[in-house]
A and B are shown apart, each in its own frame.
Chain A
Amino acid sequence: MKRWVGWRKKLIFFALLPAVCIGLTTCGGGGSSSSSSSPPPPVSNSQPIEVDLGPANNYVNGLFTSVTVCAPGTSNCQTIPDVLVDTGSEGLRLLSSAVTLSLPAETDGNSNDLQECMSFADGSYLWGPVATADVQLAGEKASSVPIQIVSANPSYAVPSQCTSGGGSNENTVASLGANGILGIGNFRHDCGTACTSSSTAPALYYLCPNSVCGAVTVGLTAQVQNPVWLFSRDNNGVLISLPSVSATGAPTVAGTLIFGIGTQSDNALGSAVIYTTDSSGNFQATYNGIAYSNSYIDSGSNALYFLDHNTLGIPDCSDNPGWYCPSSTVSYTVTNTGLNGATGPVSFNIANADSLFSSNGGNNAAFNDLGGDSGTSTSSDYFDFGIPFFYGRNVFVGINGQPGPNGSVGPYWAY
């Protein structure tokens, strides 16, 4: 009952102040509100983001924001806080435990709900149905967007293909460390054309007639997708702007998520250089004369994951394998090269992860010098520029097929 009351309060709030507050994530926080008699401000294309320990109070370098979802075409809305901002995936995925709103399911002609298994490189996965919602971010709105609802209590047994990565079903706040994932990466759809043909479709989408789940093909419009490209404007990408942090870290870092690239006064490219990516979102990072072509930038990665401790000559942490623990901070410079030939250096530091984790009594969440192994040897290595890369930078994410400034077309990064 309490949940229902909370939902109702939000509904009334939105109904009272639609012009001022729809989609403004700060509205749900109960802060001071502007007078309803003043003229409505221009529709905003920016909203706050924050690095903090997250809702499970243990996430390092997690970038979070709030997302408002509404039943399509209605003012029945709910603002969900603590959603992870992920430029390494596409589409909104929300824990069922965080969603009190009733959203229509995507179904086939026989009323079977479409299910999805979203797998991650660490072996974990998200399993649950695809629903349709209007998604509001800042003053922007995408209508009838397919999103994934990650089931706390799945209606159907998780298919064995879905568990074949070996990791956990991250269907709780404790396991995911967030209320959901907002995938706003370089692409429009989470799967794309591969999922539209039975000869190329991976086991990503499922139908479960008679409670037996089998993988199916899904057309583009029904796929879970990046809500940004469905906005009526400011729809060619996003800008993530985070300030610098000190070498020992910070408990929180507040920044801004801005929609559109070169579409308004607050999202001009300025001096940022465009690095186009391949069709998978990767570019080349060169270190010590070796080019690592599967490299990428990813706000959903919580550290700088690159090379391996043997190649670098610095130790892994003894108690935290996979994290780097140099005895003193080490500086690196890498040269990134886009598919368009744009090239430029990136410099960063790697500090002792054990020292970082224990700094400030273990209360720091944001570190610009946290690193770990990406592979086990030169042959499997790459650079994954996670959240530390974003501190002190404006990072633009260009969406595939969407025209940007100076004749550019996504997928690209610019910084």
Chain B
Amino acid sequence: MAAVLAAALCGSIPAGAVLGEYANSIPLDQQHLRAQLHETVRQGYTVQRLKSPDGRIVREYVSPAGVVFGISWTGPTMPDLRQLLGSYFGQLQQVAQSRQPHRGPLIVKSKDFVLESGGHMRSFHGSAYVPSLLPKGISPEVIR
């Protein structure tokens, strides 16, 4: 019987900025991810980049009106999509839980919500956006 060397990790999960909502709670995401926050202003939108010590990077794409219109993630493990997607999480659940058994990327495409989640153990990545919230003239290609 092998003994497990274990130490409890930080466990609190405050609510944070979510897709489709105002970005003013991004500092809470920063706290949740124990992350470094880096902001980049681009033509027509802002990118808030959160990098946590375990290598996870979450980017939140914020419109001039302050609304998160897209997110992307990359890292060794899956991010907390319930928190990041907010009210759109239900659409993800619906598609993810109705799949016939197989392994591969997950693609969700509806009129008001687009998500792709792919990769494998040690290397997960994906993105999600709300087409109707894209700032004028901004392509979803910027969400990467």
Q: How far is the CA of A282 from the CA of B74 in the complex (A)?
A: 13
B40 close to A (CB within 8 Å): no
The answer to whether A107 and B118 touch across the interface, beta carbons within 8 angstroms, is: no
* A96→B91 CA distance, assembly (Å): 30
**A222→B121 CA distance, assembly (Å):** 18
- The residue in B83, B100, B115 that gathers the most chain A C-beta atoms within 10 A of its C-beta is B100
Closest Cβ of chain B to A353, distance in Å, is: 12
Contacting pair A106 B4 (CB below 8 A): yes
Residue B102 CB within 8 A of the other chain: yes
Instruction: Tell me if A121 and B78 are in contact (CB < 8 A).
Output: yes
Q: Does B43 contact A (CB under 8 A)?
A: no
Measured in the bound complex, the distance between the Cα atoms of B99 and A166 in whole Å is 12
Closest Cβ of chain A: how far from B75's Cβ, in Å? 8
B48 to chain A: closest CB distance in Å? 17
B residues within 8 A CB of A374? 105, 116, 118
- Nearest to A109 among chain B residues (CB) is B3
Residue from B8, B97, B118, B143 within 8 A of A167 (CB atoms): B97
CB distance from A30 to the nearest CB of B (A): 27
**In-complex Cβ contact of B107 among A90, A167, A222, A376 (8 A):** A376
Docked Cα-Cα span, A164 to B7, in Å, equals: 22
Task: Point out the residue from A58, A200, A221, A303 that lies within 8 Å of B100, measured CB to CB.
Answer: A58
Q: Is the CB of A373 within 8 A of B4?
A: no
A376 is contacted by which of B77, B78, B102, B140 (Cβ under 8 Å)? Answer: B140
Contacts A217-B6, A386-B104; A119 near B120 (Cβ below 8 A): no
| Interchain CB contact (< 8 A) of B102 among A60, A194, A373 | A60
Q: 0/1 per residue, A189-210, Cβ < 8 Å to B? A: 0101010001111111101000
Known contacts A89-B121, A185-B120, A372-B104; can you find 8 more A-B pairs with CB under 8 A?
A62-B101, A132-B1, A144-B2, A167-B106, A202-B56, A216-B4, A321-B109, A322-B107
Q: List 19 A-B contacts (CB under 8 A).
A: A104-B1, A107-B4, A119-B78, A123-B96, A164-B79, A164-B83, A166-B97, A215-B8, A216-B9, A219-B4, A219-B5, A373-B107, A373-B116, A376-B114, A377-B140, A378-B141, A380-B143, A380-B144, A386-B104
Interface residues of B (CB under 8 A from A): 1-11, 13, 53-56, 72, 76-83, 85, 89, 92-93, 96-97, 99-107, 109, 114-127, 140-144
Residues of A within 8 A of B (CB): 54, 56, 58-62, 84, 86, 88-90, 104-109, 114, 118-124, 132, 144, 146, 160-161, 163-168, 170, 174-178, 183, 185, 187, 190, 192, 194, 198-205, 207, 214-219, 221-222, 279-282, 294, 296, 298, 300-303, 305, 321-322, 372-380, 382, 384, 386
